[in-house]
Amino acid sequence: MYKKKMRREMKMISKLLMIMLSGLLLAQDAEKKDLEVGDEAPTWALMYAPGKFEFLRNWSEVKIDKKTGKEKKLRLNVSQPDRHAVVMSFFATWCKPCMKELPILEEVYQKYKDERVKFFLIDITEATRSNPGTVYGMSYKDVPVAGPFLKKKGVTMQILFDNRGTAMKRYNAQTLPRLFMVDGYRNVTFKKRGFPDGEGADEKFKKDISSEIERLLGELPPSKK
């Protein structure tokens, strides 16, 4: 009898601990805050073609290694020794505001594509495809695949596929479009959520992005090539 009572009590304690842990995790998720200007940009490794991956740390990395106290090098510091500024925008093919942002971002990309700044479009279409319900009158499961869809629209920036939503969660990028700019030392220097309507919104967006790129380019260390 005593052993049975002990087993029942242990089961109850285990259930209570699981409930408490679940509540703690939910509370932590609820308390997640947006990245702020000056924060360290989370790293990511995202696929751009089957079996091929792009890494943020190929282009931008923190200046000092916290463990060694020494300057930290880029992941590909031999073949790609120069730090770059990075522009990344989270999008999905179902996102109408994203479709307003992308052509303007493409214009800026064409202007700076030969400079030390990398542009990445981070696609979360597949990460949201299993969402229930509809978006803009279309079922999530029926929205177009990003690659062919953007090609038809004349977008030539590199697309990175965040199929599991890992980067989306790290950057708290559930509201789209979500744009971040990062300097050569992996510091967030600019962020923007959504895309505004109204007269002059397109030009203001283009001006804001271009101005920040110019500033970041001016602060990059000299090229090692």
CATH no. for residue 98?
3.40.30.10
What's the rounded Cα separation, in Å, for the pair 189 and 212? 8
Q: Helix-strand-coil percent breakdown of the chain, rounded to 5?
A: 40, 20, 40
DSSP type of residue 146 = H
**Same structural domain for residues 49 and 145?**
yes
Specify whether 176 is located in the same domain as 112: yes
Question: Quick one: tokens of 67?
Answer: 């463990």
Q: How far is CA 20 from the centre of its chain?
A: 31
Phi, psi values for residue 162, rounded to 5°:
-95, 65
Indicate whether 68 and 21 sit together in one domain: no
- The pLDDT of residue 3: 54
41 and 22 in a common domain: no
In the chain, how many domains are there? 2
The position carrying tokens 């380019």 is 217
Q: What gap in Å lies between CA 172 and CA 151, rounded to an integer?
A: 27
What is the C-alpha separation between 186 and 169, in angstroms, rounded? 18
pLDDT at 168: 97
Please report the pLDDT score of residue 121 as a whole number: 98
225: in domain: no
Let me know if residue 198 belongs to a domain: yes
- Structural domain harbouring 130: 35-219
User: Could you tell me if 44 and 27 lie in one domain?
Assistant: no
Q: Do 219 and 187 touch, CB atoms closer than 8 A?
A: no
Tell whether 139 and 171 lie within a shared domain: yes
| Whether residue 118 is found in the same domain as residue 187 | yes
Question: Do residues 201 and 101 both lie within one domain?
Answer: yes
Structure tokens of 120?
């990445």
Q: Within this chain, do residues 14 and 114 fall inside the same structural domain, yes or no?
A: no
pLDDT score for 55: 98
Task: Tell me, yes or no, whether 154 and 195 share the same domain.
Answer: yes
Closest-CA residue to 160 (of 204, 185, 206, 127)? 127
- How do residues 57-84 score in pLDDT, each as one tens digit? 999 999 998 888 888 999 999 899 999 9
Residues 71, 164 within the same domain? yes
| 224 belongs to a structural domain | no
Residue with tokens 């079922």: 139
Residues of the chain with pLDDT under 50: 13, 15-31
pTM to 2 decimal places = 0.84
